[in-house]
Structure 1
Amino acid sequence: MLRKSKMSLLFAFVLILSLFVSACGGSENGGGEDGKVELRFILNNDSPTLVEQIKEFEKENPDIKVNVEKIPLDQFFEKIETMIAGGRTPDLLYTPVLATQRYANMDLLLDVSGDLKEEKDDFLPSTLVSVKNGDKVVGVPHFTDSIAVFYNKDLFEKAGVKVPESIETTWNWEEFAAAAEKVKSANNLKYGVSTGSDVSQFLPFLYQNKGTVLSEDQKSAGINSDSSIESIEFFKSLFDKGLASKESFIGSEKSDELFKQGQLPMVITFSGLINSFEKDIQGFEYGVTYLPKKEVTATKLGGANIVSFNETKHPKEAVKLMKYLTSEEKMAEFAAKEGVVPTRTSAQESVDYGAIDEGMQIIINEINSVPEFAVKDFSIPEYLGYKSILTSEMQSVILGEKSPQEAAESMEKQINNSVLKK
């Protein structure tokens, strides 16, 4: 009888202990066994700089442990949607600019307006567009990048062509095409300028003419406008005149590699490739110059934001990490190592890019001149939907299968019916 009572007490103790452990450890975002606050932080890239800075944060804040999870970008959106549907949102998310508004529109993101109140003016207004939800600020811009023009200094010098020295004196469209033609001819090259296959490299020309993919209120397509069609016509003319490679635009040829090999005088591509160019280019000197302008100077921005979710059990600690990673010092350090642009004005002034500094300053000047309408046009969740439509239709234009007018009408119809579901 006594043995039976002891066994019953032991069973009851084990049951109570198991329930206690379950209660303490049931939340993915809860505290650890040592009493530390644990934050779950999901990244969409494999940046060693960011991971190292997170480790430094842990050393400076021994009461906080950050559990980092990395999701490849090609799986990122689907997996985050699954987490949202299952109520398993992380404490912090490192998200592409274009995805932030989707989560904001679902009212999932933590309002950090009060936490950024004293620092808000230090951020570029264009980078804050994607982290706003009405009057609320629901994230912190971490870095930005853009579409830029890289050029072969040796080929330009041989042709006697000088690039613009400032954003105020940059080429207009006609001057840009003329420079490409002159350098091509002087060096007996196949092309004068080229882009990659990503339609993002067309968007600067659209925005330079004050064209947009969507209407001003973003409730309908805006691509079928006179200014947008004129942009498509000019872009098409670069290929029709033999200045740009059709093969590169449809993806059967790598324009970035051709540039590295000295076969292209200019390449319009992602500014983040500057570190790759600095490392790989041998045998000639390269530089960065400004995109041409039409009505305005403009490029297409990229980058990432750091956000937290309303469901976090540790908003104070989550915001503390957000502010740490986006401080002037840490942002400048990240930008220098990754070859990207800080979203803080103060960090732009203090960052030391070393060997790539000259080119990065031109990229910064260009980014700081981007009009807000151009940022608003793509900083929305629908961007991924309409980007595939733009890609297909612009390829049809470049290959001569459709006129700019026909493509604009087709894009308008598809965006309204398939993306915006009007």
Structure 2
Amino acid sequence: MSIRLGCIADDFTGATDLANNLVRAGMRVVQLIDVPPAGTAGDVATDADAVVIALKSRTVPAAEAVDASLRALAWLRSAGAEQIYFKYCSTFDSTPAGNIGPVTEALMDALGTDFTIATPAFPDNGRTVFKGHLFVGDVLLAESGMRNHPLTPMTDSNLVSVLGAQTTRPVGLIDHTVVADGAEAIRSRIAELRANGVATAIVDAVSNDDLVRMGAAVQGLPLVTAGSGLAIGLPANWGFRPSPAAAQLPPSAGHRAIVSGSVSEATNGQVLEFLKSGRPAFSVDPLRIAAGEDVAGQALAFAEAHLPDGPVLVYSTETSDTVRTVQGRLGAAEAGELVERTLARVAQGLVERGVRRLVVAGGETSGAVVQALGLTGLRIGPQIDPGVPWCAAALPAGDTLHITLKSGNFGGPGFFTDAFALLDAEAAA
């Protein structure tokens, strides 16, 4: 059996975000952590309709991102994938050097295709594209909190120009008037753009209906590129329909904990809401780590005392002003790596202490935690909030870990407690 859809995600939370939407549309989905060894595709394909390979390539040098993405593509093609989906963030996180443009062009070359689409739209999470401009909620991308992102500050809302700065081929637009007319109109516009030498088209989408029309229109394209929203419209091309069975996970048990390294405004709000509730929380200070203190050990000692009454939060989330201060003293890369390594060690220690229900917030943090825990694959389960599902993973010792990898930008203020409430409700059902 071959998989229908092969997906390459540029970070770990984005991978689960994409997989979540595919599961909601009825596909059985396995998420793999990095590119598996050659010769393993057949084992996975028997248990999945779609496979998402999670890379940690969003902010690495463009050449490294291209290499990792091409290796993922080769594995997915060996599994028989009929269409390839390159997934990036719904806020189009990138710089003029990449990595969205270089990876897209490399995948196009490898697949021998001269055209693809690009849209980060995900209306359920407030990400819409209109006239080629990306909105985050009610404001343009460049006016949102993403303008202060420490690694990929987004200061231009016009996706045609953003992507054009990263690519060597022309970028065009399929605007909302075309999308509103349906799949056939979109296909006609694609043919027109291709005839004019356009290689990639930004596509407007302001509703889920737009994504459904877009999904039908790109049936048969070797490559699509998007945020997770387009996944709403693709499974129907193979006859899939929403089914609760696609999201079933084993029962959950064990201690509960949260590890948060995101600096996004959404996660800041979630941490604040958790702190207001009076639940146990430990703040990780990068400056203390840099000074040589065993901050991970301190965090684990704190957590161990509170896990029986959990959930326990270990966090390094700060305001953008605080982040800039720390980066000014340590450097952006050094500060980020210190926090990632520390939180990864904390996550390992939490699992060793019996945590079997774990929330991880932040894309880079999620990547570091998953790698530190030695997880190789995730079965995608029920949605907590748009774009964020619970997953089940086999630990090296044989136990099952329920884990959610949350993009920093996603989730409501009460996400941390809502996540565990959903598992409790599933167990009681």
Give me the TM-score of the superposition, normalised by structure 1: 0.29
Query: Which structure features the higher share of strand residues?
Result: 2
> For the pair shown, which has the larger CA radius of gyration, 1 or 2?
1
- Which structure carries more relative contact order (alpha carbon 8 Å, separation 6+)? 1
Give me the TM-score of the superposition, normalised by structure 2: 0.28
Query: Which structure features the higher share of helix residues?
Result: 1
